[in-house]
Amino acid sequence: MTFKAAAIQMCSGVDPAENAGTMARLVREAAAQGATYVQTPEMTGALQRDRAAMKAALRDEGSDLIVAAASKLAGELRIHLHVGSTAIGLADGKMANRGFLFGPDGKKITHYDKIHMFDVDLDNGESWRESAAYTPGATAKLVSLPFGKLGCAICYDVRFPELFRAQAAAGAEIMSVPAAFTRQTGEAHWEILLRARAIENGMFVIAAAQAGVHEDGRETFGHSMIIDPWGRVLASASGTGAGIVIADIDITQVAAARGKIPNLKNGRPFQLEEVPLSASGDVAA
């Protein structure tokens, strides 16, 4: 089966209403070009480093502006619309970095809360502590859709191959990786990680990204892309500004790739033995 997929690239600001308008414009453009699955980036609703301002604008899922707009768009355009993520208020006062998938009837199919928190200290003083504001998810999501089985990941999740392998082993044919990669980490690792996850699991990877210098001062890498199960980049965007990348997804390529290199079947259990140094400093036999 073949379908047309689109990854929406954005440069989200701090105002959810403005971001919702940008999302709607780009999703409509993608649908007009024939896309029936459209994915937006991580933090579609807002990128806001001021936590007080972020919490002031926070809403629960039932009253969130992005959620409502996406549901309406999906139903109107008769597409599967995947909001990569947006910040959702939780009862404990923290937030979820939550993605939403809507069907062509406008109804929510599922949501996914980002599991792995971006708690890192990079060069040049760049430091992030996502866990200080967000509650990590605990459940991976694999969704059976008319065009294939879709697995869910968000941004930093891409550095944890076990998440992708578990979903591939359960039948995932496509992985969604919406993101807001920093420029520093994106330049070093973005494409390499995405292509590796596609190759080692024989699956399509669709990655909608944030791109450019944002209103809150951060800079994200962009380069939204769609990758096939052989690791080939089918479509990609630039590193700045909003845009759309679209590719035809032939789901039969998943079985073809896994048939050539059946590593999902060929994996074997093993034990890890640590060999200590001998008294002389040589490795013991």
pLDDT in tens, 250-266: 999 999 999 999 999 99
pLDDT in tens, 202-249: 999 999 999 999 998 899 999 999 999 999 999 999 999 899 999 999
Active site residues per annotation: 42, 114, 155
Q: What is the pLDDT of residue 101?
A: 98
Q: How much is the average pLDDT of 276-282?
A: 75
Report if pTM > 0.75. yes
Instruction: Give CATH for domain 2-266.
Output: 3.60.110.10
Q: What is the pLDDT of residue 180?
A: 96
pLDDT in tens, 4-25: 999 999 999 999 999 999 999 9
47 within 8 A of 12, measured Cβ to Cβ? yes
Q: What is the pLDDT of residue 128?
A: 76
Helices (H), 130-276: 161-169, 183-201, 252-260, 263-266
What are the tokens at 34? 């024939």
What are the tokens at 283? 């490795």
Element (H, E) at 181: none
pLDDT in tens, 98-121: 999 999 999 999 999 999 988 888
Q: d(Cα 268, Cα 223) in Å, to the nearest integer?
A: 36
pLDDT of 285 strictly over 60 = no
Q: d(Cα 25, Cα 153) in Å, to the nearest integer?
A: 25
Q: d(Cα 97, Cα 135) in Å, to the nearest integer?
A: 8
pLDDT-derived band at 129 (thresholds 50, 70, 90) equals confident
Q: d(Cα 214, Cα 218) in Å, to the nearest integer?
A: 6
Among 190, 179, 148, 170, which Cα is nearest to 5's? Answer: 148
The C-alpha angle 119, 185, 29, rounded to 5 degrees, equals: 105
Residue-averaged pLDDT of the chain: 94
Q: What is the pLDDT of residue 72?
A: 98
89 within 8 A of 113, measured Cβ to Cβ? no
What are the tokens at 280? 């002389």
Q: d(Cα 176, Cα 147) in Å, to the nearest integer?
A: 14
Q: What is the DSSP letter of 52?
A: H
Greater confidence, 49 or 85?
85
Q: What is the pLDDT of residue 93?
A: 83
pLDDT in tens, 35-67: 999 999 999 999 987 777 877 778 999 999 999
What are the tokens at 12? 């989200």
Q: What is the pLDDT of residue 281?
A: 66
Q: d(Cα 208, Cα 175) in Å, to the nearest integer?
A: 11
Q: What is the pLDDT of residue 282?
A: 65
